Amino acid sequence: MILSTYNKEDKVLLAVDCIIFGFLKDELKILLVKRDFEPEKGKWSLIGGFLKKIENLDKAAIRILHHLTGLNNIYMEQVYTFSKVDRDPAERTISVAYYALIDIATHDKELLKQNPIHWFNLKDAPKLIFDHNRMVEKAMARLRRRALSKPIGFELLPEKFTMRQLQKLYEAILDTKLDKRNFINKFNSFDILIKLEEKDMSSSKKGAYLFKFDQEKYNRKVEDGFNFKI
Amino acid sequence: MILSTYNKEDKVLLAVDCIIFGFLKDELKILLVKRDFEPEKGKWSLIGGFLKKIENLDKAAIRILHHLTGLNNIYMEQVYTFSKVDRDPAERTISVAYYALIDIATHDKELLKQNPIHWFNLKDAPKLIFDHNRMVEKAMARLRRRALSKPIGFELLPEKFTMRQLQKLYEAILDTKLDKRNFINKFNSFDILIKLEEKDMSSSKKGAYLFKFDQEKYNRKVEDGFNFKI
DNA sequence: ATAGTTAAGTGTTTAAAACACACTTTTTTT
DNA sequence: AAAAAAAGTGTGTTTTAAACACTTAACTAT
């Protein structure tokens, strides 16, 4: 009836791979890196690395993201652990996928320095190594579920944004068109936005009012959850 | 800019721990095992084991569940990977939690033979080793979310069941009281139940009609999802 | 100056779903 | 024959979702 004793033979390498979502110009994007070591050197890949003995997975994800992008204080969440036996042909590795949400407009300068990384539109991202495309799908499904059950946007939009941007973000995540009036009515019913005096003049002559999130109310809604259905 | 090369030093043991939910006599239950090896020998623990080199995590979960309970063909799903550095004081291990759903009434005979395992009411389960209580919470949250977004019950109830049992299951999972009429109306609107001629006489003089799931329609609903809100 | 263009902004009506709510039936027990 | 215990059944009200179109503001081109 003994099920297990610690058996050093079965030790494996644990990888962390990051699905980094961003949003810019009405498009959902994903940050990829050109892999510079074997196997699959030169191909596009998620940003990843290995868990070290002295850290937990959340810390590893933060470290790996920081190391490859210079970014700090980024929202990250564990998605799923992938373990197909031959997923990495070079060595038995298991990989824990994390997704990150980034406001590209704010962070782009830090990122541009970093050489072999690149933002792709999610829709025309290249084929990735190993099982990374499956990871992206799974993370995307998670992001979609999150958008339906809690407010989203704080991590992906600049501090000030227009209603149109917010709507386009939801449309990109949910992959659907939404009615302008219904969207605004619905979102206002959550009571987490603050309307500013300022206008954004970049996309129309008339200008569109800027909004920001009421951080406290936003957080409360993230805790409590809601049902976004529109 | 190199982020990682394979480093054997960082290999870890990957455990799989199973949160096994069952339902009997209007109560949600969880299957625990008295641990028979160090550390923490003699304490109650989730059923667990270690991933082997030649299998993926889903397979490991199935194997471990089978090995400790004799059960086969049980619904299982990965929940989350736990990685606190000192979660197991004896050795650096990472553990992937899986939850399983079992119809106790049908499987109890197979289980009773197995000695050091025991069904506890979820509400008065003992303190568990390591971070197993956190795992149970996380699995419970997942089960709750599942119950709100897809039909549940096929895996937890006997083949034939009464409306009352089904309602009690939902009440136990969602930890709330539901209105009998609204529950039945709602559930019937999903059109996944088949009403049988037979009655269950065990809990009333009048007897209560038995139902079973229409497997095909049930599966379709699991795929498509729905919004249970009552 | 005037007509045309472009995006912003704004409410109402209809349909569907959620919710609250109470009495009757069946059968056994005393 | 009355009491008890669980099963079974429907309606009205409220809330939420969904469909839908015109006006405003500011610039551009003639």
Reported as a single tens digit per residue, the pLDDT across B45-56 is: 999 999 999 999
Residue with smallest Cα–C1' gap to D21: A181
Domain formed by B12-149, architecture: Alpha-Beta Complex (3.90)
Alpha-carbon dihedral B151, B155, B159, B165, rounded to 10 degrees: -60
Query: What residues of A are in contact with residue B56 (Cβ under 8 Å)?
Result: 83-85
Task: Measure, in angstroms, how far nucleotide C4 C1' is from residue A205 CA.
Answer: 14
Q: What is the pLDDT of residue B4?
A: 56
B182 touches strand D (CB under 7 A): yes
Q: Smallest Cβ distance to A36: which of B1, B13, B55?
A: B1
Query: What residues of A are in contact with residue B6 (Cβ under 8 Å)?
Result: 13, 50, 90-91, 93
- Mapping DSSP onto H, E and C, the string for B133-144 reads HHHHHHHHHHHH
Residue A124, pLDDT > 70, answer yes
Residue with smallest Cα–C1' gap to C8: A208
Within 10 angstroms of residue B161's Cβ, the number of other Cβ atoms is 25
Task: Measure, in angstroms, how far nucleotide D12 C1' is from residue B146 CA.
Answer: 32
Where does the pLDDT of residue A37 fall: very low under 50, low under 70, confident under 90, or very high at 90 and above? confident
Within 10 angstroms of residue B96's Cβ, the number of other Cβ atoms is 27
Within 10 angstroms of residue A40's Cβ, the number of other Cβ atoms is 16
Q: Do A53 and B2 touch (CB under 8 A)?
A: no
Task: Measure, in angstroms, how far nucleotide D16 C1' is from residue A7 CA.
Answer: 57
**A204 phi, psi to nearest 5 deg:** -160, 165
Q: How far is CA A190 from the centre of its chain?
A: 23
Q: Do B13 and A11 touch (CB under 8 A)?
A: yes
Annotated domain spans of chain B:
12-149, 161-224
Q: Do B83 and A10 touch (CB under 8 A)?
A: no
Burial (CB count within 10 angstroms: exposed 0-12, middle 13-18, buried 19+), residue A100: buried
The lowest-confidence range among B66-70, B134-138, B166-170 is B66-70
B66 with B72: CB under 8 angstroms? yes
Task: Measure, in angstroms, how far nucleotide C6 C1' is from residue A44 CA.
Answer: 40
pTM equals 0.95
Q: Which CATH number is correct for A161-224, 1.10.10.10, 3.40.50.970, 3.40.630.30, 3.10.20.30?
A: 1.10.10.10
Q: Do A1 and B78 touch (CB under 8 A)?
A: no
Residue A1, pLDDT > 50, answer no
Nucleic acid strand C: bases within 7 A of protein CB:
6-12, 17-22, 25-28
A112 with A74: CB under 8 angstroms? no
Within 10 angstroms of residue A21's Cβ, the number of other Cβ atoms is 24
Q: Smallest Cβ distance to A12: which of B14, B47, B67?
A: B14
Share of residues in chain B with pLDDT > 90 (%): 83
